[in-house]
Amino acid sequence: MMNYLKEYIRNNPSRKITFADYIMQALYHPQYGYYMNDKRKIGREGDFITTSNISDIYGRSIAKWFYKKAIELNLPFSICEIGAGTGRFAKAFMDEWRLISAEPIQYYILEESPYHRKLQQEEIIFDENIKQIASLEEIFPFKGLIFSNELFDAFPVHVIENQAGQLLEVMVTVKDDVLVESLEPLKNEKITSFLEQSGLLLNDQQRIEIPLQMESMISNMAKTLQRGLVLTVDYGYTNEEWMEPARRNGSLRGYYKHQQVNNVLERPGEMDITCHVHFDALIKIGNQFGLKHVHKWRQDEFLLATGILEELEENYDPNPFSAISKRNRAIRSLIIPGGMSSSFHVILQQKGV
C-alpha cells in the first residue's frame, strides 16, 4: 500500500493530503485498506483487543441491561449494532437473550469490513430476525437500541496544531520517497466551526485531532432512531482532559501486533489507526440532533450497575482452566481498578422516551 499512497499523494494537485484522507485510504481503501483486507485484526493473533473479545460476559451483561430497559420504557426488542467486528458480542448477546426472554430479538448488524462480515457469518446464524444490513436507511424508522463498541475511535480525523497563536493543519506529503508531515495554515472552515462550537482553545504547540465525520454518523443515528436508546462504548476525553499537559501531542496512534506505534505514517494498511473520542462534542452534537444525553459512566461502573458481580460463581474451582475459573477471571478483569474497563466510557442517549 505504501507505493499506492505515494502515488496518490503525488497525483494530488497540492502534492499533499489531509490526515483524514490518509487515514481513510489506510483503513478503508477497497483493496489495500486495513479494515478491508483478510488479515486477522482482533484478538491474540491480531493487532488489538476489544472488551467484547475478552469474554462473552460482556455481551451477556448488555443483553440483560437492555432487556430491563426495554421492559421499563416499553421498547421493542430490537438492536442495531454498528461495527460488530468478529460478531462475538452479537453472539453472546443473543445467547443470553434466549435464556432471559421467550420473545425473539431483532438484531441488525451494520458492518463496513467485508472480512468482518464474513467472520460474523461464521459465528452467527442469520435469519429473518437476525440480519446484516448495508446502511441505516434499511431499518428506518427504527425503535429499540443502537449500540456501538469502539466505533468512533476508528473514524478518519484531521490533525491541527497551534503555533504561536496560529492554527495550522498537519498534512501528509512525500519527501525523499518517505511519507512525512507538512504544516500549512488552517483553511477548512468546518474545523474552525468544530473548535468554536466545542469551546476548545489550544495551548501553544498543542496538537489535536478533529473528527468531522462524527457529526454525520450521529445525525444518521438520530434520523434513523424514531424511539429508543443509543449506547456508545469507547475511549476518549472531555474538553477539560484534552487540555491537560499529557494531551499536548494529541492521541493519534497505530497498533501493530499489540504494540503501540506513535508514527501512524508507518505500515499503512498493515496496522490499526485510532484516536480518542471527543466526548463533550459527541454529547453536544447528539443533543442538537435530538439524542438527549442521559448519562456517562466509566465502563467498569456501568458493568457494576448492570449487576455483573452477580455473575461471579460462588463455587471455588481449583482448576484454573475450567469454564468457571475462566469466566470469573474475565469478570474480574472487566471491573478491576486500573484495568481495561477504566479506560473506556459508556454514553447513554435517548430519543422519544
Q: In this predicted structure, what is the pLDDT of residue 344?
A: 93
How many domains, the chain? 2
Regarding whether 326 and 227 lie in a shared domain, the answer is yes
Q: Is the pLDDT of residue 65 over 60?
A: yes
Regarding whether 225 and 99 lie in a shared domain, the answer is yes
248 falls within a domain = no
Regarding whether 324 and 288 lie in a shared domain, the answer is yes
Q: Taking residues 252-275, report their average pLDDT.
A: 93
pLDDT by residue (tens digit) across 164-213?
A: 999 999 999 999 999 999 999 999 999 999 999 999 999 999 999 999 99
Regarding whether 60 and 198 lie in a shared domain, the answer is no
pLDDT by residue (tens digit) across 216-251?
A: 999 999 999 999 999 999 999 999 999 999 999 999
pLDDT by residue (tens digit) across 66-79?
A: 999 999 999 999 99
Contacts by residues 135-138 (CB-CB < 8 Å, ≥ 24 positions apart):
135/110, 136/80, 136/110, 136/220, 136/221, 136/223, 136/224, 137/224, 138/108
Q: Is the pLDDT of residue 253 over 60?
A: yes
Regarding whether 183 and 127 lie in a shared domain, the answer is no
Q: In this predicted structure, what is the pLDDT of residue 38?
A: 80
341 falls within a domain = yes
CATH code of 123's domain = 3.40.50.12710
268 falls within a domain = no
Regarding whether 196 and 290 lie in a shared domain, the answer is no
Regarding whether 321 and 172 lie in a shared domain, the answer is no
311 falls within a domain = yes
Q: Which residues contact 13 (CB under 8 A, 6 or more apart)?
A: none
Q: Taking residues 41-51, report their average pLDDT.
A: 60
Q: How far is CA 323 from CA 49, 55, 124, 313, 326, in A?
A: 21, 11, 22, 10, 5
Regarding whether 195 and 282 lie in a shared domain, the answer is no
Q: In this predicted structure, what is the pLDDT of residue 318?
A: 74
136 falls within a domain = yes
300 falls within a domain = yes
Q: Taking residues 4-8, report their average pLDDT.
A: 97
Contacts by residues 23-28 (CB-CB < 8 Å, ≥ 24 positions apart):
23/156, 23/157, 23/264, 23/273, 24/156, 25/1, 25/268, 26/1, 26/264, 26/268, 26/269, 26/273, 27/154, 27/156, 27/272, 27/273, 28/112, 28/156
Regarding whether 167 and 81 lie in a shared domain, the answer is no
Domain coverage including residue 174: 2-31+158-210
What does the mean pLDDT of the chain come to? 92
194 falls within a domain = yes
Q: Taking residues 10-20, report their average pLDDT.
A: 97
Cα–Cα dist 330/55, whole Å: 6
Q: In this predicted structure, what is the pLDDT of residue 229?
A: 98
Regarding whether 330 and 221 lie in a shared domain, the answer is yes
For the whole model, what pTM was predicted?
Answer: 0.92
pLDDT by residue (tens digit) across 277-303?
A: 999 999 999 999 999 999 999 999 999
Q: Is the pLDDT of residue 315 over 60?
A: no
pLDDT by residue (tens digit) across 93-151?
A: 999 999 999 999 999 999 988 989 999 999 999 999 999 999 999 999 999 999 999 99
Regarding whether 280 and 345 lie in a shared domain, the answer is yes
Regarding whether 79 and 115 lie in a shared domain, the answer is yes
37 falls within a domain = no
Q: In this predicted structure, what is the pLDDT of residue 107?
A: 98
